[in-house]
Amino acid sequence: MNKYFFYALAITVALFSCSNLQNSTNGKFAVDNIVVCDTLEYNNLTLYFEAQLPIFPSIKNEELLYSIYNHSFDFFGTSVSLSNFMPKSYSKEALNQSLLAWEELFFSDLKRDFIDIDEVVNYDYYVDIQSTFFNENLLSLVKTEDGYLGGAHGFLDIQHKNFDLKTNKEIHNTDIFKDITDTVFETLLVQYFNNEYAEDSLMSECLFDEFTEKIPLNDNFYFDKDKIYFIYNQYEITPYSCGVIEFSLPFDEITEYLKPEFLERLKEYFLK
């Protein structure tokens, strides 16, 4: 995969790799996929890396493509500048090389950290980015990251992003709601959380104390023509044991909190 692993310190490394450029759909709204996966065995350390990234041949706007892949290359737990991974262009080949660069750093950093390890360690990292909706007006993406990188347990992080393909801009909560700091609406979010988990006695008790009366509006959401769905990751408003939280709000029940221009645009997003 890269020379560093074959020559550094003259240590035997077993490296099994796959790098595939796939095409999953055809037509105007085609979505290609890049898949990169590798296993590195180094002394007592076994590392596994897997990443899948979508490619959108029909999207040509550079600003929009930057927004899409800026989100895609914002990896869980990394403190390294995104500029180290962002491609110079958005071709499949360039994006594939960027994924391989991230993979290389993942392996080299952990290999350095565990160079003198005596115990057996198995770490794994997965990132899967998929388009959940794609037409001429709207692109919705979900990025799922999970694995184990040490500590008491593994991790799971889910992030949704939505892009208006007419304005070539990401859709934020500020584009949808009149006031994202509205305390009345934050109280309403608690009610919808409780409604979602009303039949689960354990989940109904999950909220951290500071969120039992108000839940802050976040920017992690997706929507269809009828509802908006909010996602709160582990430790955001609940402990790890409660998993990733998702609950929905019907648009027709929260109209007073929504921007009129969003409601108008909503009709266009899902035109057939």
Question: Which residue segments constitute the domains of the chain, with CATH numbers given?
Answer: 3-170 (3.30.565.40), 173-269 (3.90.640.20)
What pLDDT, on the 0 to 100 scale, is given for residue 12?
29
What pLDDT, on the 0 to 100 scale, is given for residue 149?
85
pTM (predicted TM-score): 0.86
Complete DSSP assignment for 24-86: ---STT--EEEEEEEEEEETTEEEEEEEEEEE-TT---HHHHHHHHHHHT--TT--S-GGGT-
25-29, 104-108, 161-165, 213-217: least confidently modelled range = 25-29
The answer on pLDDT for 75 being more than 90 is no
User: Within 10 A of 184 (CB to CB), how many other CB atoms are there?
Assistant: 10
CA distance 172 to 192: 20
98 burial (CB, 10 Å; 0-12 / 13-18 / 19+) is buried
| Average pLDDT rounded to a whole number, residues 266-272 | 88
5 pLDDT band, cuts 50/70/90, is very low
CA distance 131 to 115: 38
CA distance 45 to 42: 5
CA distance 38 to 65: 27
Q: Token pair 């065995």 is at which residue?
A: 41
Q: What is the pLDDT of residues 235-250, one digit of tens each?
A: 999 999 999 999 999 9
Q: What is the pLDDT of residues 12-54, one digit of tens each?
A: 233 344 556 554 444 577 888 999 999 998 888 899 999 999 9
Distances (CA, A) of 26 to 31, 32, 56, 135, 250: 7, 9, 11, 13, 33
Tokens of 59: 């999207």
Task: Tell me the three state secondary structure of residue 265.
Answer: helix
CA 227 remoteness from chain centre: 20
CA distance 46 to 123: 6
Tokens of 104: 């290389």
Among residues 224, 216, 217, the alpha carbon closest in space to that of 162 is found at 224
CA distance 59 to 177: 27
What pLDDT, on the 0 to 100 scale, is given for residue 171?
97
CA distance 175 to 192: 21
Whether the Cβ atoms of residue 218 and residue 230 lie closer than 8 Å to each other: yes
